[in-house]
Structure 1
Amino acid sequence: MSTTQAQSKQGELPEDTGAFAWLKALGPRGRRAFGGAFGGYALDSYDYFTLPLSMVAIAAYFSLDNGQTGLLTTVTLVVSAVGGAGAGILADRIGRVKALMLTVITYAVFTVLCGFAPNYETLLVFRALQGLGFGGEWAVGAILVAEYASAKHRGRTLGAVQSAWAAGWALAVIVYTLVFQFLDADTAWRVMFWTGALPALLVIYVRRNVSDAPEAAARRTASTERGSFLAIFKKDLLRTTFFATLLSTGVQGGYYTLATWVPTYLKTERGLTVVGTGGYLTFLISGAFIGYLTGGYLSDRIGRKKNIVLFAVLSAIGILAYTNIPSGANGLLLVLGFPLGFCMSAIFSGFGSFLSELYPTAVRGTGQGFTYNCGRGVGAFLPTLVGFLSDSWGVGGALVLGAVGYGLAVVALLGLPETRGKELL
């Protein structure tokens, strides 16, 4: 039957299968929600990367060893587990948009305060508190957009939201390169944190333009169930919660090991300058951005679980290859940065849709917030372990531990169902 005949028979326009069909399918409200979630996650990423990029300067300023430096990342991620779980409960109780604004304000305020820290202990506390907002933003933003997205396009829609992480990372690298070129290191790292005030502008946009998905909001308010930790540990959801947390632990342990220590590895063991490091990271981030979009597309085509398995294996191989390049072969290091960034990001693209589809509307925020961020908190111990082992193994050698995390993620999938095409209830 021709397209025209089908159109006449059904009285409908032919289905839009273009590259941006997923964006059109969101509708005006959904697109505004997408803009708010994308901006929130991009600036979440920006505020996070102010630390890894400034790590060498901070370590020198406060005379820190690698273990103490790694602890700054670990406390951020551990506290993010608390923040993410708490934000998930808030999203189920007060709505997605209100919770989103609270998380953005929190991570912005404490990022700025990090720039005023007079000593290591104060910086540690401020960075931990920054984790409260950092942990909650992604889960809340992902749910907000997932509840607007159609089942057919949910994977690539949430993959596009995830790509905001690479955009924020790229912005942080650009600002870092400029700041450290024109200011001395002792001042530059503080300025990096002060630029973390940028998210305040996003809150104004969200407050004026974004609202919860009407149908999902109606289901949430009509339900007698309210977001709580006990709800996601009841018999019918206990298995899902356990394996989803294990999955998040493995993937994020591998990812944050690389995100935290690659800049230091490039400087201390490869001897790259500030601008040189930025150049290498450009390849890594470019691969990440394309990886998020590709992973979202594949998540809809081959399924959530197959997408995660594929890129877990490729990410583990990439880590081993990246950290075993012979000394002096920095050109090869540059080339491998792109596929490494691609694979370690593509694995995340299905997370927003997968975790949203595992839980009912009434406890979706709690379930997604807890599993994703608890996994991040537990996985955060890998960067600290790398810091301590790097004194004897070298940073490059210790980075291999990231591959262990990806192996754990593959095992966790054995306990979870495939959810591709599932309608949110």
Structure 2
Amino acid sequence: MRLGWYSDLTPKERRTYWACFGGFTLDSMDSTIYALMMPVLLTVLSLSKSDAGMLGSVSLIGSAVGGWGAGMLADRYGRIKVMQGTVLWVATFTFMAAFCSSFWAFLPVRFLQGIGYGGEAVVGAVLISEAIKPALRGRVAASVQSGYAVGYAISLAAMPVVFYFLPEDVAWRAFFAIGLLPALLVWFIRRLVPESDAFNKLSSQSKKIDIRSIFTAEHRRVTLISTVLASGIFGGAYIMITWLPTYMRLSLGLPIASTSGYLAVNIVGSLLGPFIYGLISDKIGRGKTFMLFLVSQAIVVSIYMFAHIDMTILLGLGLLLGAFQGGLASGLPLAFSELYPTRIRANGAGFCTSFGRGFGSIMPAAVGFASGHMDLGIAMGSFAIGSYAIGFIAALCLPDATGVDLEAIDSNAARDTAADTNFVVRTGH
């Protein structure tokens, strides 16, 4: 029985796919535990909304540092080795959060956890982009990002179980302790997943850490546009990821059971969105698909936050919210990987994705401060739509490298063409 593009993958491509999907899923599980526990921490540890926003933002700042740092290390030591390290890193510091009892204890742990999450997301995306044939790259690479929804679903399903058997003041600690489980994935990666051929073909002289390479005249414009695009997309996404559970509990007055149901619908959307993005982007290009999704998401957020609507309609909008959010995030690392040669691919994709996360991380904290002076829903909607507008302008300027042959752009002539921003290299659908 054929399973779409999955049936067209070689055994090596499938192993790489599942390693990247698994890494992203389990790291997502760890990172979303905090968002789900925020309402509990506000009560149990007497945190303010501003404290909660800061803890959300500091993790995203850490992911900016980790993504770029891991990208440079991956260009030097290989995608597989660095990916194993980041998975272990996230699991360790999620587990350590179980022993925190104050804002100042959580602050460094959240930052360090973010370093690992940002690193794994970038290195996994670069690995999958190099391992998959160009004609299928958009669909396969984007679908890996749907692992975020799967990880969120795992943490969401585990939450009521943990809180059923344990009292609240103990359950949140046990919930964080579960975050150690992703460390088991490292065995699978080490035993069954090979290094990418593109990296193996680099000469030893090319395998080096060079911070300045992505800022040379040849690559500077691509780096700037890509970073602004990521900032806009992640800024809007992080507002929803960080504050939606709290908005449902405090503004809509939903109990934990109902909140879980509404978030489950949002997660289903996040699962479907990357598959839809990948299919469309392979057809019409990465930049046009970004613009389509950004406009659609802005409309959905406007209705969700500003209109007085029936809870049934809100449920349907939650599905769309998750779909567009998941689709937008899924396309970034792939689009950036196609714009850089192999010797600086993880460096470039890591910087743009990670500093986009860093700049975008300002938004959850901004919403936290603004909500002290206005309704939480209005603050969320206003800042999110502003972020989407920034992303849309950047997407208009993004070079189109959809389906480019990654090995071809390693030649000087092809790189010069890529830097010109007027090329479109396609290898079929």
Match of 2:64 among 81, 87, 91: 81
Q: Does the 8 Å contact 2:287/2:396 carry over to 1?
A: no
Q: For residue 141 of structure 2, what is the aligned residue in structure 1? A: 158
**CA deviation digits over 1:333-371, x for unaligned, max 9?**
112111111112122232232111011000001111111
Letter in 2 for 1:213: S
Establish whether residue 347 from structure 1 lines up as the match of residue 328 from structure 2: yes
Paired AA for residue 209 in structure 1? L
What residue in structure 1 maps to residue 358 of structure 2? 377
* Conserved 8 A contact 2:134-2:405: yes
Could you tell me which of 104, 124, 128 is aligned with 2:111? 128
Counterpart position of 1:202:
185
Q: C-alpha distance in 1, partners of 2:202/2:67?
A: 19
Match of 1:40 in 2: 23
Superposed counterparts of 1:12-91, under 5 Å: 19-21=3-5, 23-91=6-74
One-letter amino acid of the structure 1 residue matched with residue 406 of structure 2: L
**Amino acid in the other structure paired with 1:79:** G
2:387 paired residue number? 405
Q: Contact 1:155–1:349 at 8 Å: present in 2 too?
A: no
Q: Match of 2:377, SS?
A: helix
Amino acid at match of 1:413: A
Root mean square deviation of aligned Cα: 1.5
- 8 Å CA contact retained: 2:77, 2:207: no
Q: Is the 2:76–2:207 contact (alpha carbons within 8 Å) kept by the matching residues of 1?
A: no
Q: What displacement does 1:183 show?
A: 2.4
Match of 1:178 among 151, 161, 185: 161
Identify the residue that residue 251 of structure 2 maps to in structure 1: 269
Q: How does 1:248-327 map to 2 (within 5 A)?
A: 248-326=230-308
Assess if the C-alpha contact under 8 Å between 1:88 and 1:369 holds in 2.
Answer: yes
Contact kept? 1:246, 1:412, Cα under 8 Å:
yes
- Conserved? CA contact 2:291–2:396, under 8 Å: no
In structure 1, give the amino acid aligned to 2:227: T
Give the aligned partner of residue 411 of structure 2.
none
Question: TM-score, with normalisation over the residues of structure 2?
Answer: 0.92
**Partner in structure 2 of residue 10 of structure 1:** none
SS of equivalent residue, structure 1 residue 347: helix
Question: Which stretch shifts more, 231-240 or 331-340?
Answer: 331-340
1:89 CA drift (Å): 0.6
Cα separation, 1, equivalents of 2:250 and 2:164: 18
2:218 paired residue number: 236
SS of aligned partner of 2:125? helix
Deviations 1:80-124 (A, max 9, x none): 111111100111000000000011011110000001013221111
**Matched position secondary structure for 2:134:** coil
Q: Which amino acid aligns with 1:380?
A: S
Does the aligned pair in 2 maintain the 1:92–1:220 contact within 8 Å? no
Conservation of the 8 A alpha-carbon contact between 1:142 and 1:352: yes
Report the CA distance between 1:267 and its aligned residue.
0.3
Task: Return the alpha-carbon distance in structure 2 between the equivalents of residues 232 and 367 of structure 1.
Answer: 6
Change (3 A) 1:362 1:46: same
Deviation at 1:293, TM superposition (A): 0.7
Partner Cα separation in structure 2 for residue 55 and residue 221 of structure 1: 48
The residue number in structure 2 matching 1:359 is 340
1:386 aligns with 2:370: no
| Alpha carbons 1:156, 1:349 under 8 Å: kept | no
Q: Give per-residue Cα distances to partners, 1:108-163, cap 9 Å, x unaligned.
A: 10000001013221111111111110110011011111111111111001111011
Identity of aligned residues (%): 38
Any gaps of 5 or more consecutive residues in structure 2?
A: 408-429
Distance change in 2, residues 1:241/1:308 (3 Å): same
Contact 2:231–2:359, Cα closer than 8 Å, also in 1: yes
**Distance (whole Å) between structure 2 residues aligned to residue 190 and residue 174 of structure 1:** 16
Deviation at 1:176? 1.3
Amino acid at match of 2:278: G
Q: TM-score, normalised by structure 1?
A: 0.93
Q: Which residue of 1 aligns with 2:316?
A: 335
Whether the 8 Å contact between 1:227 and 1:362 is mirrored in structure 2 is no
Query: What is the rounded CA distance, in whole Å, between the counterparts of 2:169 and 2:18 in structure 1?
Result: 36
- Report deviation, 1:223: 5.3
Q: Secondary structure at the match of 1:369?
A: helix
SS at match of 1:326: coil
**SS of residue paired to 2:329:** coil
Question: Do the aligned residues in 2 keep the contact of 1:41 with 1:164 (CA within 8 Å)?
Answer: yes
CA distance in 2, matches of 1:321, 1:416: 28
How far did 1:19 drift? 5.0
CA distance in 2 between partners of 1:218 and 1:326 (Å): 56
Does the CA-based 8 Å contact 1:26-1:148 persist in structure 2? no
Question: What is the aligned length?
Answer: 406
Task: Give, in angstroms, the shift of residue 219 of structure 1.
Answer: 2.9
Match of 2:420 in 1: none
